[in-house]
Chain A
């Protein structure tokens, strides 16, 4: 009984994934060519491309990685290795868990007020990246804490028994062993960020731009917004373009996930 239930569950998810894939591929493949990858959006479907959105997404995710990894790992190290175990720490811990569940649009609205208006960053790549950083930080902290906790106590005790200070133990023993878990968690969180449209719409990223952002203060758009925009246009050709955009987005996502798997296997073999 349970077995059949599990089988049905797996089948449902596999079939829907396959349907999505086949649908996107059949609609999008005819449109997916070099011209599509190297062109800006256009009123004419045969001239339109995803270049601006692709680079916008890469800019945002790249900066997000730069901000969120050190912050998340630092917070996790503090919580696991340094903070006293008292009510304040438990309160912070509880809040991080709750923040991981806050809808992404809420982060978008917060950032519109904080980064775009109050800090006057404008609707820039930087504001977008900071928004995504807030969004995925809780996930990275929790994943990094798990990675730190999985470092065996024998390893730490061995280093302390040699006269190592707490920082030397963190630096020489805990970090190297926890790094693969931290990186995996971060990349999976970034894969979530690259597919988010809502917070980017909230900070009003552009829908129609004919340039590639060249710096963190340039305006930008991201792939999910571009896809959403194409789907809403009346001409049916744009549906094909949207499907082609989905293929590109999925390709970026899958390559990020395979990097995560690669890193995990590589470090696990070494740390076995």
Chain B
């Protein structure tokens, strides 16, 4: 596989008050691939992906040093428009979090925020986003219904559609299947593979089988430090680090 580096992380450190959560992470995340981030709870997985769309700074007492370059541009530069950055870097959360609005208004929220007012254009965007998230056929008759009436799996695909509607380049997913049943999980995993053809997908997962099934590259974090990074197959079959091996074989975690 030959992919370009999309997200180039250099010497990234994140603190929450006194707590040093990420320690000097340097890594190049490849474009048009699925990269899985594994590691035991509290190792900084979520903090790592939230550093890529600068969501950590919404938390009081957080501090970030180092560089995160997207297409060679450091997103922590002063001149960077953080709202435009978050448009380019979509995010899907652990618990499905549709807004208490209609299905249509959920997907249209992002485009509206970025200034699209034309109803016809919004309809086109909503339809294409729902199709891309493999949800359109299930909901096209009831776009005006509340998004909260959808099942958990549908809600998670709806928030994926919501993220796609602002035309992002990178999609971050924070344990997107942890609240879903196996059937819904299978649908989301298939969707991740499909999205990797067009976007750079980064997922956090607790589930090693899931990482092995869907990802091209795997990152293993432990206590805020980068332990191992490589092609998924290599990481699972020939881990270079003893910690990784112990985690994969279930000796801890």
Contacts and interface: CB of A to CB of B under 8 A. Distances in A.
Interface string B109-120: 110111000000
Given A155-B97, A162-B110, 9 more contacts: A158-B93, A160-B86, A161-B55, A162-B86, A163-B114, A164-B109, A173-B99, A270-B146, A272-B148
Interface string B151-169: 0000000010011001000
Nearest to A172: B109
B55 A157 contact: yes
A164 to B, nearest CB: 5
B83 interface: yes
17 contacts: A155-B97, A157-B58, A158-B93, A159-B109, A161-B163, A162-B110, A162-B162, A163-B86, A163-B87, A164-B83, A164-B110, A164-B113, A168-B113, A173-B99, A176-B101, A270-B146, A272-B146
Q: What are the nearest 9 A-B pairs in CB distance?
A: A163-B87, A154-B97, A163-B86, A161-B91, A162-B110, A271-B100, A163-B83, A158-B97, A164-B113
B84 interface: yes
B67 to A, nearest CB: 21
What class of interface size applies to chain A in its complex with B?
Answer: 20 to 34
Contacts of A161: 53, 55, 86, 90-91, 93, 163
Contacts of A159: 99, 109, 113
A162 B97 contact: no
Contacts of A272: 100, 146, 148
Interface in B74-122: 83-87, 90-91, 93, 95, 97-101, 109-110, 112-114
A162 B163 contact: yes
Contacts, number: 72
A270 B109 CA distance: 18
A159 B100 CA distance: 12
A85 interface: yes
B60 interface: yes
Most chain B CB within a 10 A radius of its CB, from A154, A161, A172: A161
Given A154-B93, A160-B55, A85 B83 contact: no
A172 B97 contact: no
A270 B100 contact: yes
B235 to A, nearest CB: 28
A131 interface: no
Contacts of B98: 158
Interface in A208-230: none
Interface string A167-183: 01000110011000000
